[in-house]
Every structure is written in structure tokens, then in C-alpha cells.
Amino acid sequence: MKGFALTLPADYRLHDVLAFHSRDAESVAEEVSAERLRKGMLLDGVPVVLDIALPPAPQPMSPASASCAVHADGKLSKAAQQRVREAALSILGLRIDPEPFSVFAAGDEMFGPLTRAQPGLRIVQSATVFEALTWAIIGQQINLSFAIALRRTFILQAGRRHSSGLWCYPAADDVARLEIDDLTSRKFSRAKAETLLRLARLVADGELDLDVSPANSIDRISAALLALKGIGPWTVNYALLRGYGHADCSLHGDVAIRAALQALLGEEVKPDMPRTEKILARYSPHRTMAAAHLWASLHPRDPE
């Protein structure tokens, strides 16, 4: 597959992208530096490394581009080649344009100041929907450092190594071959292991279609996921955000979102989930960007 380039907006926040993909200092499926981002993934059973050469931080009014090279250990179908392009857009946070929310919230007492303080803030995504879903399941109800360690174990157990040495994040077929003990013996709870294998086997068998199409809408996919034991509204909304780049995800069940609202409202306790959901509903159909700004408000930094 030939390489391609993606234009980056003038206000592109490269630091945010690098921070998201370098959360695991011992990462086996990503290599991140200021100049390059390499990501391993499995597409149609073929190990693929997407190698993105990053420009220096773009300056205002001076758009730059990221050069994407594709190294596949086999032939990629046209559909898989398209998924590589989609993965690059997701990895670089180019799926959701932040400007509509900034305009929408310009006069808002709470989000107006947030959007002005963090111009160009974007949602960075996982390379594939399956990765986003499994990461959401792995991270349920545990601290981030433990979740990152479990994710690394998961990749080493179910993934495959690219010829370059980088590991590729597993696809559903690879995870479906595991047994419960493969995961529980590596510190996964039984409930978490069962949910991961249940999801993987349904996807691998074709009983659960994660691809959006005219006959398979986001709403339909969400309902199918919610019907699975071990998957609740938070997991589904997080997967919609990190996997599909859906613009209107309500993260009212997220503890960090509630903590951010508590700080912004100046209250002594976090708002409960029903109240948080009601507050976020005011910002539909832009609730995903609202969540991004709430998360960012907990760790403010100077804009690029």
C-alpha cells in the first residue's frame, strides 16, 4: 500500500496526540516520539504498522501535514487499505472538528471560557473500534496504571508481532482463540475476562457487526452492545467516542467528568449521574467535545 499525507489544521495540538498514545511507558504496540508515531494493528489477519512522520508543532495560519507510511506483512484488500486511512485519522484526532462546539458554546457561562482557554482541543481515538471497545472493558472500575498494565498483557497474549518487532493490537479473531484462564491467570478478573471473550467471539463469528452502514446504525450497534452482559452505558459511550468518533456521546457516568463539573460549579460534592446527564444534555449534539473540555479542565495547560 502506498503512503499518504494528512493535512493538519493550523491550531493542531500535537502534544495532546503524543500524550494519549504514550500513556504506557512500556508500550509494545506503539512507539511515540516528537517526530514519529508508529502503531501496530491487525487488519484481516495481516500485521500492519502505520508509521506516521510528524511535523514540528504547526504554527498559527500555517497548516502542516503528517506523512503516513504503511508496512504490511502481507497483501491488504481495498477495504483494509481504507481502514488504514481511517485509523490514521483516528490516531491523529482528525475525525471530529472542534469548531462547531466552540461556536455553539461561545456564549455559554461554563464552556465558553473552557473553549477559549483550550483552542483546537480534539478527541484522539484508538486505531480501531475493537481496540476502543476492549480498552473500555479493560479499564472498567480499576485505576489507570493497572488498566495500562492489563492492556499490555492483553496485547502480548492475543496480538501478533510485526516483522519490524512491534506488536500489533489484537483483532476479534485473535482474542476469540483465548480461554478464560489465559486472562485470569494474568490478573484479569473473571468478569472482565468473560466480557472480553464474549465480545470477541460474537464479532469473530459475525453475530455482532461493529461496522456502521445504512443497515447498521450507531444506535443499532449501541443497543446490541448494551445487550451484552458486562457492557453498560459508560462502556458503550466511551467506545462511541474513542472508536467511532461519534459527536454526541454522554459521559455522565464518568467519574472524571463529574469531578470536572464539581470544580466548575464550585460545589462540595460531585453531581450525581442523573444530574450530570441533565447538565450534559444542554450541549447535545456536541456532548463529545463537551466531555473533552471537561477532561482537559482537570489538567489545564497553555495552548500550543
For position 303, what pLDDT does the model report?
34
CA gap 153, 68 in Å, rounded: 28
Q: What is the number of other CB atoms lying within 10 angstroms of the CB of residue 144?
A: 9
CA–CA gap between residue 5 and residue 7 (Å, rounded): 7
Which sequence spans correspond to the domains of the chain? 4-96
Residues 6 or more apart in contact with residue 248 via CB below 8 angstroms: 284, 285, 286, 287, 288
The CATH number for 4-96, chosen from 3.90.1150.10, 3.30.310.20, 2.60.200.20, 3.30.70.20, is 3.30.310.20
Q: For residue 299, what pLDDT is reported?
A: 82
Q: What is the pLDDT of residue 138?
A: 96
Give the long-range contacts of residues 194-198, CB within 8 A, separation 24 or more: 194/229, 194/230, 195/137, 195/228, 195/229, 195/230, 195/231, 196/134, 196/137, 196/138, 196/154, 198/228, 198/229, 198/230
* Residues in the chain where the model's pLDDT stays below 50: 302-304
Collect contacts of 54-60 with beta carbons under 8 A, ≥24 apart. 54/14, 54/18, 55/8, 57/12, 57/14, 57/15, 57/304, 58/8, 58/9, 58/10, 58/11, 58/12, 58/14, 59/10, 60/10, 60/11
pLDDT at 100: 96
The pTM score is 0.92
Return all residues near 172 (Cβ < 8 A) that are at least 6 apart: 130, 199, 200, 201, 203, 204
> Do the Cβ atoms of 49 and 164 come closer than 8 Å?
yes
